[in-house]
Amino acid sequence: MRTPICDEFGIEYPILAFTPSEHVAAAVSRAGGLGVLGCVRFNDTEELDRTLTWMDENTDGKPYGVDVVMPMKIPTEGTSIDLSSYIPEEHKKFVDETLLKLGVPPLPEGEGREGVLGWLHSMARSHVDVALQHRPVFIANALGSPPVDVIEQCHAGGLKVGALAGAPKHALSHVANGVDIIIAQGYEAGGHTGEIASMVLTPDIVDAVGPDVPVLGAGGIGSGRQVAASLALGAQGVWTGSIWLGTEEYRNLSANHSAWETAFTRATSADTVRTRVYTGKPARLLKTKWTEAWAEEGAPEPLPMPLQNLLVAEAHNRIVASNDPDVISMPVGQIVGRMNEIRPVADIIAELVAGFEEATKRLDTIREG
């Protein structure tokens, strides 16, 4: 399983793994893939700096990447306190009443009330600045093409730039702005996603951008057969995410992991929903009592990014602290139906590779008759 992406990044397998956990990202890189650390959770740039220093020291000298959340259009923004004044009281009341109805207790006074500021453009820029002081080889943007000056900044630092795309027109726009690698994020994927399924989207984008622009297939990839299918559709590699939530290494991210593990190991591929309640942009989440409450008649429409994130920030912290699998709020793709146990990262990489080999041998047998 070797494609030009392997040579580009100096990796053994064309498997890229997005994750908010540095332990997962480092383990993926050590196992031959490219771990990509999501930076959006870091409100403190010093904490991100310490985490990337840890990555530098715990990847056995192997490459890794980072992922930021940055719209191309530079918004007018203030602090989270300034922005909170734009949140309607109706929305605040709905969140408070919903949490009460779902039995989610309040946090101790003074704990966990600040939202994730990585959704702010200025914070995402600071994440890029910190990353360039370390040794990632790749930086991806979850909201499409970053501003051109950021792309140029990354290129000057020797990094390749990737961007998620949910339609061919988005991919073409990214390439025109200077993006190096397109991540074709299909409808099945967890987190921010478009409306076109991977089986259609990947070849559409491959054909649109042409042979000189590498494309990574994303969405619904949790087995070697699915890796093989994505490469057969023209991708040079795969961008994975949800499957790493079910790893032993992911447990290092939070002490309250039992509720999440219970929730996803019992879920089927039908137990997700694409909604704007998480960030204000369409994102696929695990379907729970929290997401269902927002879909009920009389519930307010989610606010635009970043106001929705600020609105639900404390709610998310309370939900995590409650450790209730029926209420948990977590982005995850339809591949969750295959996530039935907790395993080490290295085992999943090995299974992806072995499954790819089995799938391609089966195709060889079919071709040869």
Match 């929730």 to its residue by tokens.
Answer: 263
pLDDT at position 352: 98
235 vs 10, 141, 186, 321, CA distance in Å?
18, 18, 13, 40
Given pLDDT bands bounded at 50, 70 and 90, which one contains residue 70? confident
The answer, yes or no, to whether residue 121 has pLDDT greater than 80, is no
Rg (CA), the chain: 20
pLDDT at position 110: 64
pLDDT at position 360: 97
Q: For 290-307, how does the pLDDT look when each residue is reduced to its tens digit (9 = 90+)?
A: 999 999 999 999 999 888
CB 210 within 8 A of CB 181: no
Q: What is the mean pLDDT of the segment spanning 261-275?
A: 96
Can you give the residue ranges of every domain in the chain?
1-75+120-253, 78-116+258-338
What percent of the chain clears pLDDT 90, i.e. is strictly above it? Answer: 82
pLDDT at position 119: 59
Question: Cα(164)–Cα(192) distance, rounded to whole angstroms?
Answer: 9
The answer, yes or no, to whether residue 246 has pLDDT greater than 70, is yes
The answer, yes or no, to whether residue 77 has pLDDT greater than 70, is no
More confident residue, 305 or 24: 24
Q: What is the spatial order of strands in the sheet that 191-192 belongs to?
A: 191-192, 283-286, 272-275
Q: Among 109-123, 206-220, 286-300, 302-316, which stretch is predicted with the lowest mean pLDDT?
A: 109-123
What average pLDDT does the chain have? 93
Taking residue 287's Cβ as centre, other Cβ atoms within 10 Å add up to 19
Given pLDDT bands bounded at 50, 70 and 90, which one contains residue 255? confident
CB 218 within 8 A of CB 186: yes
Handedness of CA 167, 171, 177, 181 (dihedral sign): positive
CATH number, span 1-75+120-253: 3.20.20.70
What percent of the chain clears pLDDT 70, i.e. is strictly above it? Answer: 94
Alpha carbon 277 to its chain's center: 16
Question: Cα(215)–Cα(334) distance, rounded to whole angstroms?
Answer: 21
pLDDT at position 310: 87
Tokens of residue 171, six digits: 């991919």
Predicted TM-score (pTM) of the model is 0.93
pLDDT at position 109: 73
> Which 3-state string (H, E, C) describes the chain?
CCCHHHHHHCCCCCEEEEECCHHHHHHHHHCCCEEEEECCCCCCHHHHHHHHHHHHHCCCCCCCEEEECCCCCCCCCCCHHHHHCCCCHHHHHHHHHHHHHCCCCCCCCCCCCCCCHHHCHHHHHHHHHHHCCCCCCEEEECCCCCCHHHHHHHHHCCCEEEEEECCHHHHHHHHHHCCCEEEEECCCCCEECCCCCHHHHHHHHHHHHCCCCCEEEECCCCCHHHHHHHHHCCCCEEEECHHHHHECHHHHHCCCCHHHHHHHHCCCCCCEEEECCCCCCCEEEECCHHHHHHHCCCCCCCCCCCHHHHHHHHHHHHHHHHCCCCCCCCECCHHHHHCCCCECHHHHHHHHHHHHHHHHHHHHHHHHC
- Phi, psi of 306, rounded to the nearest 5 degrees: -95, 10
The answer, yes or no, to whether residue 116 has pLDDT greater than 80, is no
Question: Cα(368)–Cα(127) distance, rounded to whole angstroms?
Answer: 51
Q: For 144-179, how does the pLDDT look when each residue is reduced to its tens digit (9 = 90+)?
A: 899 999 999 999 999 999 999 999 999 999 999 999
pLDDT at position 75: 53
Question: Cα(272)–Cα(268) distance, rounded to whole angstroms?
Answer: 8
Q: For 223-244, how does the pLDDT look when each residue is reduced to its tens digit (9 = 90+)?
A: 999 999 999 999 999 999 999 9
Tokens of residue 170, six digits: 């988005």
pLDDT at position 108: 83
Half-sphere exposure for 128 (CA within 13 Å, toward CB): 27
The closest alpha carbon to 87, from 280, 320, 316, belongs to: 280
| Strand pairing class (15-19; 34-38) | parallel
